A and B are shown apart, each in its own frame.
Chain A
Amino acid sequence: MKNVFASRTGMIVVGAVIGVGAALLQYFGNPPNMGICVACFERDIAGALGWHRADVVQYLRPEIMGFVLGAFVAALAAGEYRPRGGSSPLVRFFLGVFAMLGALVFLGCPWRALLRLAGGDGNAILGLLGLFFGIFIGTLFLKNGYSLGRSYAQRKASGWIFPALMIGLLLLLVFRVPFAPGGPIFFSVKGPGAQHAPLLISLIAGLVIGALAQRSRFCTMGAFRDLILIRDFHLASGVASLVVFAFAANLILGQFSPGFEGQPVAHSSFVWNFLGMTLAGLAFVLAGGCPGRQLFLSGEGDMDAAIFALGMIAGAAVAHNFAIASSPKGPAAFGPAAVIVGLIFCLVIGFTQRDKASA
């Protein structure tokens, strides 16, 4: 079967769907310049489960579940569902943890960095430059034989675990089960966590984007990486399309407001916007995908990607429990220290994880 979404046109269409979809999700109630943010939404899920107690960012975001389940169904339908794993899972878990720490120092994943740009937030430029720099460092490791080793086929049944987890979270959201007084599950009553589009709209958007992204292999980190590594614009055309269409949709919906100060769910520390995303970008390259892509891979049976995603959710809990996640007021007390520790971790991984045969 010919995969129409793997073409250049397909990639541009998928970027446009994500860009317009994100602007619409914001229009329907998601937080400003956060129509979709994989890092932020995983963080909200960590909060809803009570893994952190930042009461303004707790919600079981159905977009995340939709991404995994949409990719799962699309992969099954296309005969691409293939349970696999075993490529340095523990390393990937901690790459996920540190990727999240970096993303929450900036306040957003690459998708949100692009959406913030499309909403007029100038601080996103620093984040994107940092992302590019982190990815550049990562490509140097790739050129020198960096590898986390091969993955191997796993039993059919084990690939169902992550999609099943998403269905479980979805059930918790639908039924809002009160387990005991005072939680868990937690739902924000104020702040970004309280801002969300209606469940069904979020879920359908997630499913559609998950399926399209699985077919097209959309990846923001890969876009920059392939530009640097092999001068390939294929993935970049999707990213450019996302920004252009989100920008146009924001103009139409009156959601565009340019500037650096007072931007929604953002701070204007140039240095930590840059370095936070440098860390995130480096971790994404070393793990082989941006947070969104890791979810889509999880859906098609990649258990190493699922471990990375779980690492990100755990990282979100760490970020809020240990005063690492930034707030609109600026970087938190231990944000800078966490970024430095994370960069050291990633550099050690980059230098030590090498496949001698391919070096």
Chain B
Amino acid sequence: MATKRIDARGLSCPQPVVLVDRAIAAGSTDLEVLVDNEVAKENVLRLAARRGLKAEVRRDGNDIVIATTRI
């Protein structure tokens, strides 16, 4: 399945979570979520865990990339 990319940089709480949850609800499990702050990262990781997805975090310059996959 193709990886869906979500750019949630600069969006205020809870929009990153809303975008990711919508993508999961639409059937995507392989997501690449771009955020630019720790709070958004924590929130997206918590949601991914609740939705039963495995998540990996890496840094890309000033951005944080969260890649999710089905467990």
Contact = CB atoms under 8 A, between A and B. Distances in A.
Given A3-B38, A80-B38, A147-B15, A230 B47 contact: yes
A214 to B, nearest CB: 10
Interface string B1-43: 0000000011111110111010000000000000011110010
A150 B14 contact: no
B45 to A, nearest CB: 10
B12 A232 contact: no
A120 B15 CA distance: 36
B14 A229 contact: yes
Contact of A230 (B15, B21, B38): B21
A229 B47 CA distance: 11
A232 B37 contact: no
Interface residues of B, number: 20
* Count class of interface residues, chain A: 20 to 34
Contact of B42 (A6, A87, A229, A230): A6
A80 B47 contact: no
A232 B13 contact: no
A234 B14 contact: no
A358 B50 contact: no
Interface in A114-170: 142-143, 147-148, 150-153
Given A80-B38, A232-B50, A87 B12 contact: yes
A304 interface: yes
Contact of A150 (B11, B19, B47): B11
B15 A358 contact: yes
24 contacts: A78-B38, A80-B37, A82-B37, A84-B10, A87-B10, A142-B15, A147-B11, A147-B15, A150-B10, A151-B10, A152-B10, A153-B36, A219-B13, A222-B14, A225-B14, A226-B14, A229-B18, A230-B21, A230-B47, A230-B50, A232-B50, A288-B13, A358-B15, A358-B18
Given A87-B10, A142-B15, A217-B39, 10 more contacts: A82-B37, A150-B11, A151-B12, A217-B42, A225-B14, A230-B47, A232-B50, A234-B46, A288-B13, A358-B15
